[in-house]
Amino acid sequence: LDITSSRVEDAGKYTCLAVNHLGEAETSCNIIIEAKRAVPHHSPSPVVISPPTTRISTPTPRSPVPPLDTYIRDYKAESKRQQQSYSSKRHDSSNYSSHQTYSSDTSSYRSSSLKSSSKYQSNYSSSKYKSDSKTSAIGSGSSSYSDSKRSVPLSTSPTTPTTPGGSRRRQSTKEIALEKNDFIAPEFTDKLKDLKIKDGESLTLKAVVKGDPEPQIQWLKNGKPLSSSDIIDLKYKNGVASLNINEVFPEDEGDYECIATNSEGKVSTKCKLTIIPMEEKPKSETGPSKPPRIVEHLNSSSISDGQPVTLKCNIKCQTKFDIIWLHNDKEIKSSPDFLYKTEGDNYLLEIPEIFPEDSGIYTCEAFNDAGEAFSSCTLDVNVPNEEPKGPGITLYPQSVTTHEGSKITFNLETIRSAQTVEWIKDSKPVEESSGNQTSKSSDNAFSLTIPSVRLTDVGQYTAKATDATGTSSATFSLNVMTEADL
């Protein structure tokens, strides 16, 4: 930004702002312009050219104009006098006029001198102090000599262009043209491919993309945008865009599209996902479908922060069934922090390093079209230098699978004496009127007995022991098998 001729009104703060799709940056500066002091001056005398010999001669310089304070003194001395006019006649071979202006804070003085063949005039004003000296053709930056034969223009220093209104014209600020950048439009180096997988299997779609600036990724299914959820996991890292589904269903079938966009362009890659239905064996070969049965249940325990933990369920079933793991009633996705594993009839959940937030209730659910079975346990994570709340638990009641009509007892033992113990089934207190019995053998030992198990007793149970410091809880489950399930 160039200002060729600065003025007082140009003073202020100037800011240069640079913007692109990644953001913006700016730099600022302040310009202070001092007003020019009004010092009287005398315009140069015109050049006189002698017509007969065309020789250029310069008149003898005139006496310098008195300084500003002289005019002020004269004005103060004459301010009370009436306005007077003086005129004198003077003949000269050239035309001359001058205009000068002087100003002060208190008053103004105006003086006009005109040489036009024979006239000289000086005016005083009692209200203002102003001095004007005007030289024809010189005040505008040029001087001219004319006679009966020719006219010779003489130029002085160039002046600032002016608009018709008399003010100078300034060229508008222009946007700076940026140099050609080296940005790269997005491009897929590894595209999506059509895929066929079986119903119930896990799905992973991956595409590798490059571009500068880093592209933004969007996934579509059948033309509709997708977002991460409990079912679909969308990730983009180090140029790899991925879509993961732990377990696909027939409704997941369709056309998937991955779109990469940056400031240089947009590109996409597509694939078709086909879900192969499960193969159902003839009933004559498998017999009637039966629900899964948990033979070995999960075990509750108290463990130290940072330790590895493995939860195991032994489940048997003649037909296919599905498994899910829950933490505090929310499904756990298989990941490096929570690993799903299967070893024969043993179904494992491995936690390489447990944290205090991993405390709570864990449940393994197995289900098929014939029914379901589940096992629950409690993990208490002990934090060093932190006193646990509640009486604490040394003996946790364990989940059980039993036959209809059998008797079952659940036992609870606390570290410190508990003031009260409450037994809860499916978030509701256990009612003794239905035949269930609760007992207390000591301040640290408690039990719940169901004399004759019925199908209505199936569910998730919790024992809550309370003392002055808080509450300790233990969760377990009860599964009931009928003769038809065996």
Q: Which 8-state DSSP code applies to residue 175?
A: P
The answer to whether 77 and 86 have CB atoms below 8 angstroms apart is no
Q: Which 8-state DSSP code applies to residue 156?
A: -
The answer to whether 461 and 423 have CB atoms below 8 angstroms apart is yes
Q: What is the pLDDT along the chain (486 residues), one digit of tens a residue?
A: 888 888 888 888 999 999 887 888 989 998 888 876 655 555 555 544 445 444 444 444 555 545 545 545 555 555 555 444 443 444 443 444 444 444 434 334 444 433 333 333 434 434 444 434 343 333 433 333 444 344 444 444 444 444 444 444 444 455 555 555 679 999 999 999 999 998 888 899 999 999 999 999 999 999 999 999 888 999 999 999 999 998 888 999 999 999 999 999 999 999 999 999 876 555 444 556 788 999 999 999 999 999 999 999 999 988 889 999 999 999 998 888 999 999 989 999 999 999 999 999 999 999 998 889 999 999 999 988 888 889 999 999 999 999 988 999 999 999 999 999 999 998 888 877 677 888 888 889 999 999 999 889 999 999 999 999 999 999 999 999 887 766
Q: How many CA atoms lie within 13 A of 252 on its CB side?
A: 24
HEC assignment per residue over 380-401:
EEECCCCCCCCCCEEECCCCEE
The answer to whether 183 and 265 have CB atoms below 8 angstroms apart is no
Name the pTM for this structure. 0.47
φ, ψ at 119 (rounded to 5°): -120, 140
> Whose CA is closest to 90, among 64, 60, 113, 124?
113
**Span 184-276: which CATH code?**
2.60.40.10
Q: Which residues contact 421 (CB under 8 A, 6 or more apart)?
A: 412, 438, 440, 446, 463, 464, 465, 466
The overall average pLDDT reported for the chain is 76
pLDDT value of position 245: 92
pLDDT value of position 54: 43
pLDDT in tens, 94-131: 444 444 444 434 334 444 433 333 333 434 434 444 43
Calpha distance 225→227 (Å, rounded): 7
φ, ψ at 377 (rounded to 5°): -150, 170
Calpha distance 132→135 (Å, rounded): 10
Q: Tell me the Cα Rg of the chain.
A: 50
Identical fold, 184-276 and 291-485: yes
For the record, the structure tokens of 231 come out as 């079912």
pLDDT value of position 394: 93
Calpha distance 94→48 (Å, rounded): 8
User: Looking up tokens 């008797």, which residue turns up?
Assistant: 407
Calpha distance 402→481 (Å, rounded): 6
How would you class 268 by CB atoms within 10 Å of its CB: exposed for 0-12, middle for 13-18, buried for 19 or more? middle
User: Looking up tokens 């019925």, which residue turns up?
Assistant: 454
Calpha distance 334→327 (Å, rounded): 12
Q: Which residues contact 314 (CB under 8 A, 6 or more apart)?
A: 294, 295, 296, 345, 346, 347
Which one-letter amino acid corresponds to residue 454?
R
The answer to whether 113 and 120 have CB atoms below 8 angstroms apart is yes
**Span 291-485: which CATH code?**
2.60.40.10
Which one-letter amino acid corresponds to residue 104?
S
List % helix, strand, coil for the chain (3-state, nearest 5).
5, 45, 45
Domains of the chain: which residue ranges? Answer: 69-155, 184-276, 291-485
